[in-house]
Chain A
């Protein structure tokens, strides 16, 4: 899961945690001795551990925090390599659940890259997820196509904000979460090679865009006409591209 700038949990990752908890509950219902755990994995600076804590408050059993200065500014490839290496340290794993897109990067690629790294099947942008007898079934509807996929575990699943309603943490769990263990892993612990640690993309420049300075019109009965005038005056009616 992904922390946001202030270290809180990227919201759609709450859905990912919820899915993981439901998969565990399904496994337990089928076999009370299944021994399944939900592990919250996050990579980021020290504050990112708060995201794992938040997941543990929801019910995750423990946390793994990949934290290393060498991973600051990691691109998609490095992020995926590091997360995959951390997942391998937890083997055997039945399912890796991610959000469909992190709010800041909006890359929507980490799930695919993890599937590729691990060589696992991928069930992505799942609107519903169910698990039975080691098989995960997911339904998705994107880009005008509706599909139902099935994968035998281990598999990578990515979920949306409508896949489920994340449970609210109860006081008892919030207190219990404080005592749950978090394993911190460095790049060296993960055995990442220099190549794996080298970003393949680099930010050349980042410039703050000028503060928006909206032209605001209070409607006095001519607001609609002024809107039309604005579009016409700025040559924004062109239809040829549509």
Chain B
């Protein structure tokens, strides 16, 4: 049976993230799943991993600077060797892409970034992704013995295993070299415990507002809350100071692949589209029916976003949503 490694990252202590549950669901379909943690998992985390069919959990602490990709990657490589995995599956974020790159380099493994699903075919890992602003659908395969991939959020619905497992817990001895000449001077992790909305990168629905909001994000936020969605935006709005940089979707912002992407008052520049072209369904609201985002949408309303979004919220409330 193919061994699949899923690195949980350092934030697993607080419970599994939705994206990690999705990756565990995909991993289980590929073979026997081993998870890698950096602190001893709590009983709750172990039970949750068991509910997703994980058979083994390896734990190894990371030396400082633990947040350097080159450090985390060495732990992943040790785990791959320890349990001879043929596939390493990461969630997809800036941080994990860097760790995945260092891991693939050390393993001499082929690397797939931002795939929207994976399967094995003749022992090879195959993954699909959208390319060139979502105009092409490509299927890539890995030709090396070991494959490393990052999977976009919302690629699959997370499903617990039909039969829960009791994961074996094992300490992983790993000799990790600290990268030369590198020093972390300061690190702060934003506190998201009070957040009422899902994280932008992982949300199943994203409602984004662009310059067409003229800085009034209330209609966008109200629709997002009616849908349980995250709020996104464009670079122009970040530059205006209307929303923080974390909310930016695009080439140089966050890549999102939600089930539904609703863009209001957004023209749809290539830089923006590159970051949301993996969305399942695209809805646009714009006064201009020629706007590129309208042209690539599945459904578009041509009109003033403030009234259209407010009316949509009202209709959703009536529906009981």
Q: Beyond A100-B252, A142-B94, A241-B204, is A113–B190 a contact (Cβ under 8 Å)?
A: no
Chain A at the B interface: mostly helix, strand, loop or mixed? Answer: mixed
Q: In the assembled complex, which residues on chain A have CB atoms less than 8 Å from the CB atom of B203?
A: 242
> Do A205 and B139 touch across chains, with their CB atoms under 8 A apart?
yes
B212: CB under 8 A from chain A? no
Q: In the assembled complex, which residues on chain B have CB atoms less than 8 Å from the CB atom of A149?
A: 65, 182-185
**Minimum Cβ distance to chain B for residue A129 (Å):** 14
B259: CB under 8 A from chain A? yes
- Which one of A109, A117, A225 lies within 8 Å of B312 (CB-CB)? A225
> Do A226 and B132 touch across chains, with their CB atoms under 8 A apart?
no
- Which one of A106, A200, A241 lies within 8 Å of B109 (CB-CB)? A200
- Which one of B98, B182, B188, B315 lies within 8 Å of A224 (CB-CB)? B315
On chain A, which size bracket covers the interface? 35 or more
Closest to B125 in A: A201
**Minimum Cβ distance to chain B for residue A201 (Å):** 4
A186: CB under 8 A from chain B? no
> Do B307 and A219 touch across chains, with their CB atoms under 8 A apart?
yes
> Do A242 and B113 touch across chains, with their CB atoms under 8 A apart?
no
> Do B285 and A227 touch across chains, with their CB atoms under 8 A apart?
yes
Q: Beyond A144-B192, A230-B299, is A199–B252 a contact (Cβ under 8 Å)?
A: no
- Which one of A151, A203, A215, A224 lies within 8 Å of B299 (CB-CB)? A215
Q: In the assembled complex, which residues on chain B have CB atoms less than 8 Å from the CB atom of A212?
A: 295-298
Q: In the assembled complex, which residues on chain A have CB atoms less than 8 Å from the CB atom of B199?
A: 144
Question: A residues 133-179 with Cβ under 8 Å of B?
Answer: 137, 141-153, 155, 160-162
- Which one of B102, B139, B245, B302 lies within 8 Å of A112 (CB-CB)? B102
A85: CB under 8 A from chain B? no
**Minimum Cβ distance to chain A for residue B319 (Å):** 6
Question: For the complex, what is the distance from the CA of A199 to the CA of B65, rounded to whole Å?
Answer: 32
> Do A112 and B251 touch across chains, with their CB atoms under 8 A apart?
no
**Minimum Cβ distance to chain B for residue A6 (Å):** 13
Question: B residues 280-294 with Cβ under 8 Å of A?
Answer: 281, 283-285, 289, 294
A232: CB under 8 A from chain B? yes
> Do B101 and A116 touch across chains, with their CB atoms under 8 A apart?
yes
> Do B251 and A218 touch across chains, with their CB atoms under 8 A apart?
no
Q: Beyond A116-B70, A150-B183, A161-B235, is A238–B140 a contact (Cβ under 8 Å)?
A: no
> Do A103 and B274 touch across chains, with their CB atoms under 8 A apart?
yes
Question: For the complex, what is the distance from the CA of A218 to the CA of B130, rounded to whole Å?
Answer: 29
A21: CB under 8 A from chain B? no
Question: A residues 186-242 with Cβ under 8 Å of B?
Answer: 199-209, 212, 214-219, 221-232, 234, 236-242
> Do A204 and B139 touch across chains, with their CB atoms under 8 A apart?
yes
> Do B185 and A215 touch across chains, with their CB atoms under 8 A apart?
no
> Do A201 and B136 touch across chains, with their CB atoms under 8 A apart?
no
> Do B105 and A117 touch across chains, with their CB atoms under 8 A apart?
yes
A68: CB under 8 A from chain B? no
Closest to B121 in A: A204
Question: B residues 88-145 with Cβ under 8 Å of A?
Answer: 93-95, 97-98, 100-102, 104-106, 108-114, 126, 130-132, 134-144
> Do B182 and A151 touch across chains, with their CB atoms under 8 A apart?
yes
Chain A to chain B: the 8 pairs with minimum beta-carbon distance, closest first: A224-B311, A219-B303, A200-B110, A228-B315, A112-B101, A121-B182, A116-B105, A241-B204
> Do A162 and B252 touch across chains, with their CB atoms under 8 A apart?
yes
> Do A107 and B67 touch across chains, with their CB atoms under 8 A apart?
no
Closest to B9 in A: A143
